[in-house]
Structure formats: structure tokens, C-alpha cells
Structure 1
Amino acid sequence: MQTVTLSIFRFNEFEKRLWVLGQMTANKLGMHYLPKAKFWKMFGSGTGQGFTPKPNWHVWSILAVWPDEETARREVAESPIYQRWTKMADESYTVLLQPTSAWGKWDGKEPFEPVKPASDVRPIAALTRATVKFWKAERFWAREPAISHMIGRNKDVVFKIGVGEVPFVQQVTFSIWPDARSMEEFARGAGGPHGEAIKAVRAENWFKEELYARFQILGTIGKWEGKDPVGEALTARPSEAPKPAPAPAAAQPAPAAEAPKPAPAPVAEKPALAVEMPKPAEPPKPVVEAPKPASAPVASKPMPQGGKPNFKGKPGKGGRKENA
């Protein structure tokens, strides 16, 4: 998946600054080459908040587009250009990025291949690149002081820098924000200097070419001003993670609590069997009535009148049998 790197270098000593100026000249002459990079640029930077036409001779940068993160990390560590710059610099810092949206062109190309993220990106990086029409440059830069003042006071911005290929007319701004909401509030806030500048750009057609891109941050390499500001924002990102945790709590074992309810059903069946079990015990009643038929022979009362029964003739008087 495409990975973009923005590497920033600080050169404090005069000799080192002369050296990097020579590197920029060699690049313009086509003497530098990054074979694994799809697209790459070298930049100078501005003073103050970075968004000024006055150059900062101490800070320089390289932006490159790589086929994947593995290649990006390897080339930043091993490529001769990056090795020379890192060795010469007093401080270096690289932010690894994945494009999530892009609109416009850069030198007639579309260098970024955005991939829509699965969820909200936090923190979020924004890059704007524009070629200002020469006769509009004065009006463009007249807006800069108010914008620099505004972003300098903004507590939401995690990191920011303004760089450029050609002074005054080819400018790049790069900034990192906690989330899209805070970035949009700065960029398009009603009545804000940046929002008003955007309106003027559209109304007066200041730009010859422009490109806008947003990125998800993959990681960082090195330190800037003795710390890792972007890395700190990344480690703070999991603080959002506990919010989903209540969801499992909401899916309480309530369903499990209802599971025991079927258990009473088997208990109810036991009494039913216990009630029907005694019913077979009723057959003994006929056993009690069985002797009653036995009393029938006893009830044969003619015996006193005739004596013993005469099987050959009728009984005689006195109950004796008559001889045949």
C-alpha cells in the first residue's frame, strides 16, 4: 500500500547550510535520483510558523512517495541521499503517511493513491500544495500574517511546517491535527483568516495549479526539537479505544440471565409425574371387593329346610334323603 514520507532536517552550522544549498542545486540539475520512489521533491522552509516567504536557512526537507511502508522505511534508512542528509544534519525527523484522500495535481501529476480508511483517522495530516500566479503573489502573501498568528495560537495543531520548491510561488503547507473536526474548524471556520483566504483564492483565481491531500499517520523516525510530537499524538490515540468497551458491558449477560428460566420447566414436570404415579395404586380396590362374591355361597339359606342336598332326588322331610 502506497506510503509517503516527509523528512525534515535541521542544519545549525553555516558550513552545513552551504552544503545543503549545494544539494538543492544538484537536485535541480538532475544529479540526485531515488530509483524506488514514484515521486519526490526537495524543499526549503519558511521562518516563524513556517508559512512565510522569508526563508529559514536552517530547515530543509524531502518528500517521497514509495510503493509500500517496508520500502519507505528501508530507503529512508539506507538510500545514499537520506544517509548523507541525516549524517550532516543536527536533527532529522520523518513522518510516514498513507494517503486517504487527494484532489488536484502536482507538476501535472497525481502522485498520491488514496485508500479510504476503515474508520475515522486520528490524528490526521493535511498537505496543501499550490503554484501561485506570479501577479497574484503579493495578494496571496498579504494574507499570511493573520493565518500564521491564528495557527500559532491554535492549541489543537500537533505539528506544522511550511515548505516550498520555488520561493514565493510554489508553496507547500503540512500540518497534523487530532481529528478532522479540529482541522476543518481552522481551515474553514466562519470569519477566520484561513477561511477568508480560501474564499479569495476561489473568487480571484490565485492559483495556477493546486493539490489537497489528507493522510493517516503510520509512524515516525527520529526526533524534532528533542521530542517526537507526532508519535506522542499516536500513543494518545488509544484513549478513544475505551469508548467501545461499554458496548460489551451493554451486551450484559442479560441473555445469560434469562437462560436459567427454562430450568424451572423441568422442575415443573417432576410434580406432574409424582401426581400420576399414585393412580396405578387404585387397582387394589377390586382386590378388596373380591371377597364379596365369596359370600354368595354363604347366602344360600335353603340349607336348613332340606338338610344336605340330595343329588339323586328331592329332599325328604327332616332333611333326610330318600332311598332310591
Structure 2
Amino acid sequence: MQTLYPDIKPWQRHHIAVEPPHILYVDESGNPEGIPVLFIHGGPGGGCSGGDRSFFDPELYRIIIFDQRGSGRSTPHAALESNSTDKLVADIEVIREKLGIERWVIFGGSWGSTLGLVYAETWPERVLAMILRGIFLCRPQDLHWFYQDGASHVFPDYWQDFIDQIPENERGNLMAAYYRQLTGDNEIQQMAAAKAWSIWEGRCATLRPNPDVVESFADPHRALSLSRIEAHYFVNKAFLDDNQIIRNADRLAGIPGVIVHGRYDMVCPLDNAFALHQVWPDAELQIIRDAGHSSREPGIVDALVKATDMIAKKLLHKTDATA
């Protein structure tokens, strides 16, 4: 089993102003002359952590991570103003141009796979390859599964804690009910809703219970941005047309990819990845038999690190062959 590369520190940090009031946190690590790779975090609203750099061989990759609008170390925190999918795609292009990168590898999981796919379908000529985990197509049925009726049947005990936050007469549309609390003026209610929303996701993210994952989701700073921004996106159907990613998949033609998905992913069920693979034949689908949704599960880590190593080897071989 492959494990993560050692944690490393960035050699460059940036604060990039985009559309007001947003300022994005971006950092670079690894080899300045290596293959550029962009790590796209989940949520939306989840933010990056230092360990996210560890999926990549630091001798081979120039590793770029960034916190999306309102997330992590980007400011203002948990802001919903001017925060939509098309604006995040535009931000990625701003980062690419700012860093002087012509083409790069896209790496993303969960919502990071969503945003990575939309970016690649918008700017396919900028993408060398893609490594995606826990595919999230953001279709209405995907949102309904996790926030209304689906995962609730697998985790009825966790679900009860999730719905306890919402009055019974508002439970017919839980995303809308949560959105009202998360954007309301009652700060105590807002934080209670943020933690309930985020903990529900953290509890369902792993095949086996993992207190460390749940604790990270319960962190107040992360919970507030994750819950507010997710609810904002999801009540707006992620600012995507119905089944947009699948309908536009012809734009991925020629882009090599690896899709890694846990068979027992209860946050983003496997049919997301299966549907994507059917319309993106240039990608290899790897179904991890003993994993759920989290990027830190051993089988997922093994597949992702092997994928980044393999993509680097192929790209470097291609470069040597054309030199």
C-alpha cells in the first residue's frame, strides 16, 4: 500500500485579489521546475490543509493549493457574495496566469472533482491530465440523496441529529431550512446549524468511524464556511444546468484521467463515478472496495498516490520523447 509523501512547507505564499471583496490564499510547494498540479479542495467551503500537498512527489511536482472564495485562509471568511461556480472557474484561470503556468494537472475530490470537471470542460486546452476522487456531479438526485432522503436510511442515528436542528414543519426541504438558519441574524442558531450540517457530513465520510475526521468537520471555523457555502451552492443547484457535467463531457476528449471512488461512498454514491466514466473513456475508473468518501482512507490514499506517480511518469516520458 502506498502512503502519503512527507508533509512539506510551501516555498511561496500568495494573496491574490479577485472580484471584491474576495482575496484568495494560494501557496506553492515541491519542485519549482516540476509538473504543475492544482489541488482543488472539497465542500465547497472546505478549505485546504497542509496534508493536501502530500499526495504528490515533491521532487516531481510543483504543487499549488488554494482556498476557494470564503474558505480556509481566503477572505472574507464564509462570504456568500459573488460566490458561484463560474466565478471559481474564473479564479482558477487568474491563478494560472498569475503563476505563469501554461498547462497543469488537475487534482480534486468531492466538490473538488465537480469544480475540476467544470474547469476542464471550460478550458480543456489548459489541462494536462486529471486525477479525481469521490465524484460529485451535483445533479438534483445527488443533493436529494444526501440532504433529504437516501443516506438517511444508512445512518438513521446520525440523521436524527441532523434533522433535530430543523423544526418538523420545515423538514420537507431541509437544504432550504438549513440555508435560512445559516444566513439568518441569530448567531447562536447559525453556529449550531453549521456544526450540525458539517458533522453530518464528517460522520458519513468514512467507511469505518473516524473520530479525527469528525473532529476536523466540527471545527467551528471550518464548519461555518463549509455549511454556509455548501448550502448557498446547493439551494442554487450548484449554479449548474441539469446534468451539465455529463452533457459537456465531450470536451474532456483527449484528457487522460484517473477516477478513484470508494464502493461504499455514502456522501457521493458510486453511480456518480460510473456515469462519468461512461462518457469519458480517456479516464480509468478505480473502484476501491474497502472505502467510503474520505481522501484519507488507506485504499483511497494508495490509489491516489499511485495515480499521481503514474501521471508524472507518463508526462515526463512524453516530455523526454518530444525533446
User: Normalization by structure 1: what TM-score?
Assistant: 0.25
Higher strand share: 1
Higher share of residues assigned helix: 2
Q: TM-score, normalised by structure 2?
A: 0.25
